Amino acid sequence: MGEYRLTARLGEGGQGVVYLGVAPNGAKVAVKLLRPEMAGDEEALERFVREVAVAQRVAPFCTAAVLDTGIADQRPYIVSEFIEGPTLDAVVRSEGPRSGSSLHRLAIGTVTALVAIHQAGIVHRDFKPSNVILAPDGPRVIDFGIARALDRTSTLTAMAVGTPSYMTPEQIAGHGIVPATDMFAWGCVMVFAANGAPPFGTDTLPAVFHRILSLEPDLSMITDPSLRELVGECLAKEAAERPTAEQALLRLLGQNTAPRGVPQQAAPLSGPGGPLGAPSAILAQGSAVAAERTGGPYGEPPAPAYGGPPPAHTAPGYGPPYGGPAAHTGPTGFAPGHPGQTGHTFPGQGPVPVQAYAPPAEHHGYAPPQEHQQQYAGPPPDRQAFHEQPTYDGRQTYAARTAPQPHQGPPPQQPGYGPPPQGGGTPGKRLWLVAGALFGVALLAGGGIAIVANSGDETKPDDKVTTASRTDPPTAPVSSPPPSVPPVAEATRRFKLPGTNSTLHESDEDPIRLTSYSLKSGESLYTRKYGSNGFDVNKVYFDYTVSDDGTKALGTDRQYTTDNYSVVSLIDRTTGKKTSLKLTKAPIYPTLPQWSRDGELGLVTLYRAVGDTSKPYGYAVIDIDKRTARVVRVKETDAGTWSYFWRGDGRAVGTWALKGDTKRIRFYDLHGTVLATLLDVGEPLTVESDDISPSGKLFMTYCRGTTEQICLWSTDGDAEAVARIPFATDRVVGWWDDQHIAAWRKTDQGGYEAVVVDFEGNVERVLATATAAEYKSAYFRYTRQS
């Protein structure tokens, strides 16, 4: 072909056939012969050759240099440097994910290549694992410039799509391609390398595109905090919010950078070889670091260049919320959910539970407590990772003031409460495919979209074509419950709750049971006696929640220590003994204790008292066996107004994140690192107990723009609600079972009753009744019976 002698066929992919060739000087080369779609179009052929020639300007750092281009038999071909070694895709699939220094060197090498490519004025456009070769001297990026050339050649536009799992929001939306597009794909490749699967999955195109547009992936498999943070920034939905390739490289090399998205100034930067003021010096250092080796060739001891024995890896990194890979329960493969309060907000006024006192005169407020946490160094932490908080045995004896309660608050404009959803609101972004906004739309016919979905694997013989039918969101409630809905047991006893005019209706067969309730916005607390149907007034705790097995409870103490630290107590309900954990210093206070489903961890939401308001602060995780706690300060300012709750596997926590009209659910690991964000799932809904179904497959919110419908969503991140329950309420008890919820409603007599409701909105049974005054200032905590 031209002056190159072809000696072997290396593979075939969506763009053409790749051959091994020999140059006139005897050097091995890779020759890609593109498909014949441009045959006969002289103008298109010439334009393609000119576009590819631009790639020859790319500096030879961590790339396979483009050597030549030409036309043979009316078909364009590209000649590039031949690189020995497997692709990243092949190595990860055969050996498992990368980790540690091998992942860090991979990150440096690949982003060095992107710096070189971008400096030449090129956007790769199809950066993916199969375009990264793990050569003996470090990773090399290939096939840059081809997508650009194809995209500017009309007859082959459909082939320049990029691989769906590594496409960006702007590509899906049909916006312009910019260097930041490559940085999003780079983040996806790093997740693939660390996790063994693309971050947004590989199933149907609508599902993948939905996740790309609407979800933030689980990054917990990237154990290096700085790399995990960088990857998270590269996966920002807005291109302008991503760092540039040069900024990313400098951060990986330990250099300071400008704010993300701002072009790096040519300021002198120090490196092992002296100042790094020149771009070539930066590229040289990145290439040198990426080439460092720790062992012999691939598959030989002591270790392959990009990792050793691979760690066990899990499902795709997009990790739907409320569950995880630890305990598969069904088709979704996610662990069952645990009772949590996604729906609790705290009012923006009211004192913290500590005696009023003034700080010393020289102080002008309080410094936030130190974060009691280790730097994150792996997947969900084992129990050894918790820092101990002192166990406190003494107690201050003065009476404490009370903290605000979740259902009593200021007007909507005050902190901690948002205005109720208004009818007729503008729908948020919905993901479903918009024809013409997708790159690679080759055909629109019969209501379907035919999309070329190149796998990118050059060893595969054929292109894949997937047809995705366009589906409009349902306009009516999806309200058909499963065929076999378990009957709701009749109440066998009714009795007045002490200190109230409220009546409890219950049966021993009920799957949930009232275990505590507070009155008058927390002035008084009643707790259920162990092994009894009776309730006693409790003057020790502010909040009290019982474990699923009924033997233990967590309580937030009303009294602080003499040095003004809040206290959380672990109570043995069988003996009455307790252990008190010293937690946070005033003005930080804990509330709403929760149990993980396995009973091994506790969770409290932390707020900071500021004058007569309460501001979000973070959360604390309690190790039950070790009697230790970790305080986590959450830095995102839009999170924590609504309380934190457990994800289904008990190894991550979530909360609503609110900013203007944007409402999303965000998940953090136990050290405060963002793992995932679920967008466009309706409006926050106050939930007193279980907000996730017992199976872990569903969670509930208000449907967008209304308080008269409750939307049920799949925990695997589907774009549309699974069901819409026609039921007007301002507060939900939680899940009754997998086919019913429990919620409050106003009665014709002006009072309130908690009822069991099926997915069609039918009321099956009454759980409790309350007067209007009691309901508005009370809080009822139910516990699922294990």
Exposure letters 725-753 (e unless 16+ CB within 10 A, then b): bbbebbbbbbbbbbbbbbbbeeeeeebbb
- CA atoms of 693 and 698, how far apart (whole Å): 5
Region 156-162 average pLDDT:
40
Residue in the block written with tokens 């490559």: 182
pLDDT at residue 296 greater than cutoff 80: no
- Cβ neighbour number for residue 137 with a 10 Å cutoff: 17
What pLDDT shows up at residue 37? Answer: 61
- When pLDDT is cut at 50, 70 and 90, the band that residue 517 belongs to is very high
pLDDT at residue 728 greater than cutoff 90: yes
Nearest to 150 by CA among 67, 244, 55: 55
pLDDT at residue 745 greater than cutoff 90: yes
DSSP reduced 3-state for 535: strand
What pLDDT shows up at residue 146? Answer: 60
Residue in the block written with tokens 């630290």: 565
What pLDDT shows up at residue 441? Answer: 29
Distances (CA, A) of 631 to 225, 466, 582, 613, 695: 18, 48, 11, 21, 30
How many CA atoms does the CB half-sphere of 260 hold within 13 Å? 18
What pLDDT shows up at residue 13? Answer: 62
- CA atoms of 167 and 371, how far apart (whole Å): 37
**Residues ≥6 apart with Cβ < 8 Å to 139:** 62, 88, 105, 106, 109, 110, 113, 132, 133, 290, 306
**Residues ≥6 apart with Cβ < 8 Å to 59:** 116, 119, 120, 280, 283
- CA atoms of 121 and 182, how far apart (whole Å): 13
pLDDT at residue 420 greater than cutoff 60: no
Region 32-55 average pLDDT:
63
Of 90 and 758, more confident:
758
Strands (E), 202-285: 215-216, 270-271, 274-275
- When pLDDT is cut at 50, 70 and 90, the band that residue 674 belongs to is confident
pLDDT at residue 435 greater than cutoff 80: no
Region 22-29 average pLDDT:
84
Region 589-618 average pLDDT:
92
What pLDDT shows up at residue 125? Answer: 83
What percentage of the chain reaches a pLDDT higher than 70?
A: 64
- Confirm whether 126 is a catalytic residue: yes
pLDDT digits (tens, 9 = 90+) for 443-485: 222 222 222 333 333 333 333 322 232 233 333 344 444 446 7
- CA atoms of 326 and 226, how far apart (whole Å): 26
pLDDT at residue 145 greater than cutoff 70: no
Return the minimum-mean-pLDDT range out of 146-150, 630-634, 692-696: 146-150
What pLDDT shows up at residue 626? Answer: 94
- When pLDDT is cut at 50, 70 and 90, the band that residue 387 belongs to is very low
What pLDDT shows up at residue 460? Answer: 37
Of 335 and 510, more confident:
510
Strand duo 524-528 + 512-519: pairing: antiparallel
Which stretch, 58-72, 77-91, 596-610, has highest mean pLDDT?
A: 596-610
Q: To 10 degrees, the CA torsion angle through 57, 62, 66, 67?
A: 100
Nearest to 196 by CA among 293, 327, 103: 103
Helix (H) or strand (E) segment spanning residue 697: none
- When pLDDT is cut at 50, 70 and 90, the band that residue 690 belongs to is confident
Partners of 607 in beta bridges: 589, 616
- CA atoms of 325 and 314, how far apart (whole Å): 6
Q: To 10 degrees, the CA torsion angle through 421, 425, 430, 435?
A: 180
Cα 577 from chain centre: 39
Region 398-426 average pLDDT:
32
- CA atoms of 718 and 680, how far apart (whole Å): 10
What pLDDT shows up at residue 128? Answer: 92
What pLDDT shows up at residue 124? Answer: 85
What percentage of the chain reaches a pLDDT higher than 90?
A: 35
Query: What's the token pair of residue 126?
Result: 């199809």
Of 13 and 740, more confident:
740
pLDDT at residue 266 greater than cutoff 50: no
Strand duo 274-275 + 270-271: pairing: antiparallel
Mean pLDDT for the chain overall: 71
- When pLDDT is cut at 50, 70 and 90, the band that residue 642 belongs to is very high
What pLDDT shows up at residue 27? Answer: 81
Nearest to 150 by CA among 126, 174, 175: 126
Domains of the chain: 7-290 (1.10.510.10), 383-422+476-784 (2.120.10.30)
What pLDDT shows up at residue 188? Answer: 96
What pLDDT shows up at residue 282? Answer: 61
What pLDDT shows up at residue 286? Answer: 62
Return the minimum-mean-pLDDT range out of 363-367, 534-538, 552-556: 363-367
pLDDT digits (tens, 9 = 90+) for 267-288: 333 333 333 334 556 666 666 6
pLDDT digits (tens, 9 = 90+) for 187-209: 999 999 999 989 998 878 888 88
Exposure letters 612-641 (e unless 16+ CB within 10 A, then b): ebbbbbbbbbbbbeeebbbbbbbebebbbb
pLDDT at residue 175 greater than cutoff 50: yes
Cα 449 from chain centre: 29
- When pLDDT is cut at 50, 70 and 90, the band that residue 718 belongs to is low
pLDDT at residue 620 greater than cutoff 90: yes
- CA atoms of 762 and 145, how far apart (whole Å): 60
Of 499 and 406, more confident:
499
- CA atoms of 103 and 441, how far apart (whole Å): 35
Annotated catalytic residue, options 126, 224, 457, 557: 126
Exposure of 419 by Cβ count < 10 A (0-12 exposed, 13-18 middle, 19+ buried)? exposed
pLDDT digits (tens, 9 = 90+) for 734-743: 999 999 999 9
What pLDDT shows up at residue 465? Answer: 27
* Alpha-carbon dihedral sign for residues 436, 438, 440, 442: negative
DSSP reduced 3-state for 638: coil
What pLDDT shows up at residue 518? Answer: 92
For residues 246 and 264, the answer to whether their CB atoms sit within 8 Å is yes
What pLDDT shows up at residue 677? Answer: 78
Distances (CA, A) of 189 to 56, 98, 106, 200, 424: 24, 11, 10, 11, 41
Phi and psi at 93, nearest 5°, equal: -70, -30
Return the minimum-mean-pLDDT range out of 465-479, 620-634, 679-693, 718-732: 465-479
Region 51-57 average pLDDT:
61
What pLDDT shows up at residue 64? Answer: 75
pLDDT at residue 382 greater than cutoff 50: no
pLDDT at residue 168 greater than cutoff 80: yes
Q: Cis peptide leading into 726, omega within 30 of 0?
A: no
Region 514-525 average pLDDT:
90
CA R_g for the chain = 30
Query: What's the token pair of residue 246?
Result: 């040069």
What pLDDT shows up at residue 283? Answer: 64
What pLDDT shows up at residue 61? Answer: 64
How many CA atoms does the CB half-sphere of 396 hold within 13 Å? 18
pLDDT digits (tens, 9 = 90+) for 525-538: 999 999 999 999 99
